[in-house]
């Protein structure tokens, strides 16, 4: 078979080819059960074993401590923007650190259920850097503090999570890690709850991951739908209602792929993190050395996963942007168009993207520059 094109989609995003092949092989008959995973009862022993294995593998990969519960839910990141305040706000105060488009949306949605304050806003830095934690306007009596640890559209990433206690704030930290989950470790000592949609770095759309510290369960507002009450979901082992079974199965295969992943003398999450660092370094260096392209994010806030880039100065015309995207597609480099709200281009280089794929993109950037620069 010819090599598949390199797919730079921001999400739903590329999956490891090995996993897709395994899914194809197991499609009609999963492990001699005579059924596709899509056709099984979620309460049968086959699916329960798939689900338990996926949860155990995820716990191992991310080193999730025992006092945290892992929930497999539905609704995506946007639904969590409402489900989190319904469960954690207690109708009180919520402080949000806005570092880009997704955290801005979270603040808006939380405002329907709680008294929201924008504690800091990257807009004050022209959307090029995350405001320093020492400057955040946190309220001592906030129910929780929300941030998006990787802004998928703007390309800003927290390379260290804030220590809220050291900032004089006792509230739990909630992170939206949709677009960089499993690309690096999480410092659970600084987190109360993490959520993420699966379709960027985990598997197919439809699955939403919630990892929550046990003491935060059981505080949902009366209007919270039962299926979205974290305590109800936790007590039912994520089976209060039918979970997204096929997405959980594919995610489980991705977890196994990650566990055996080797790179640079490392295995598992450490290996994928090292490859992510190498891929991002290669791409940002090419952009920084280019006279035609640029990334505008401050180096210490640049995302390893989502790399927005633009044509410089007078080169930035609709025609040249389109020519870039057309030629990229001809070279088997897919889905490089920037988000409609910011324009330009964006390369999403999640876990499944190979180093070879980023080399192919960098070669194309250089080639395009010699012809159009």
CA distance 202 to 264: 22
- Please report where in the chains the tokens 């509230």 appear, as a residue: 171
By the 8 A CB rule, do 130 and 123 touch? no
Give phi and psi for 68, each to the nearest 5: -110, 140
CB of 130 to ligand PLP, least distance (A): 14
Q: Which is nearer to ligand PLP, 261 or 350 (CB)?
A: 350
Q: Which is nearer to ligand PLP, 11 or 344 (CB)?
A: 11
CB of 180 to ligand PLP, least distance (A): 8
CB of 77 to ligand PLP, least distance (A): 3
CB atoms within 10 A of CB 340: 7
Enumerate binding residues for ligand PLP (CB under 6 A): 11, 76-78, 102, 148, 152, 176, 178-179, 197, 200
Q: Which is nearer to ligand PLP, 40 or 77 (CB)?
A: 77
Q: Which one of 136, 154, 200, 257 is the catalytic residue?
A: 200
- Write out the binding residues for L-glutamate: 43
- Please report where in the chains the tokens 């109360």 appear, as a residue: 192
Q: Which one of 30, 93, 95, 102 is the catalytic residue?
A: 102
Does the annotation mark 102 as catalytic?
Answer: yes
CA distances from 97 to 6, 16, 118, 167 (A): 34, 33, 6, 14
- Write out the binding residues for pyridoxal 5'-phosphate: 102, 152, 176, 199, 241-242
Q: Which one of 154, 176, 231, 279 is the catalytic residue?
A: 176
CA distance 294 to 289: 9
Q: Which is nearer to ligand PLP, 76 or 204 (CB)?
A: 76
CA distance 350 to 9: 9
- CA atoms within 13 A of residue 124's CA, in its CB half-sphere: 11
CB of 177 to ligand PLP, least distance (A): 8
Does the annotation mark 200 as catalytic?
Answer: yes
Does the annotation mark 176 as catalytic?
Answer: yes
Closest CA to 105 of 347, 341, 328: 341
Report cis status (omega within 30 of 0) of the bond before 12.
yes
Residues belonging to the active site: 102, 176, 200
């Amino acid at each position: 078979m010819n090599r598949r094109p390199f797919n730079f989609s921001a999400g739903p995003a590329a999956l490891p080819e090995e996993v897709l092949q395994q899914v194809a092989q197991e499609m009609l008959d999963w492990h001699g059960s005579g059924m596709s995973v899509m056709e099984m009862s979620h309460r049968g022993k086959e699916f329960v074993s798939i689900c338990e294995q996926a949860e155990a593998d995820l716990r191992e990969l991310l080193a999730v401590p025992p006092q945290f519960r892992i929930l497999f839910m539905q609704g995506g990141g946007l639904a969590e923007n409402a489900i989190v305040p319904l469960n954690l706000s207690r109708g009180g105060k919520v402080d949000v650190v806005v570092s880009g488009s997704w955290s801005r949306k979270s603040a808006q949605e939380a405002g329907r259920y709680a008294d929201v304050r924008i504690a800091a806003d990257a807009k004050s830095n022209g959307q090029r850097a995350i405001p320093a934690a020492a400057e955040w306007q946190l309220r001592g009596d906030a129910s929780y503090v929300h941030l998006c640890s990787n802004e998928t559209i703007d390309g800003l990433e927290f390379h260290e999570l804030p220590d809220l206690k050291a900032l004089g704030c006792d509230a739990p930290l909630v992170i939206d890690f949709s677009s960089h989950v499993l690309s690096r470790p999480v410092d659970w000592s600084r987190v109360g709850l993490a959520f993420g949609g699966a379709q960027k770095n985990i598997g197919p759309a439809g699955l939403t991951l919630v990892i929550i510290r046990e003491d935060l369960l059981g505080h949902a507002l009366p209007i919270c739908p039962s299926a979205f009450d974290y305590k109800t979901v936790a007590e039912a082992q994520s089976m209060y209602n039918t979970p997204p079974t096929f997405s959980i199965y594919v995610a489980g295969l991705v977890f196994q792929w990650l566990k055996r992943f080797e790179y640079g003398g490392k295995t598992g999450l450490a290996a994928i993190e090292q490859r992510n660092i190498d891929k991002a370094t290669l791409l940002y260096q090419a952009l920084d050395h280019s006279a035609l392209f640029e990334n505008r994010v401050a180096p210490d806030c640049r995302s390893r996963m989502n790399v927005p880039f633009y044509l410089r100065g007078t080169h930035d015309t609709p025609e040249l942007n389109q020519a870039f995207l057309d030629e990229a597609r001809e070279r088997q480099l897919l889905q490089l168009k920037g988000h409609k709200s910011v324009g330009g281009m964006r390369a999403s280089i999640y876990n499944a993207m190979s180093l070879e794929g980023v080399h192919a993109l960098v070669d194309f950037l250089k080639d395009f520059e010699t012809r159009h620069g």
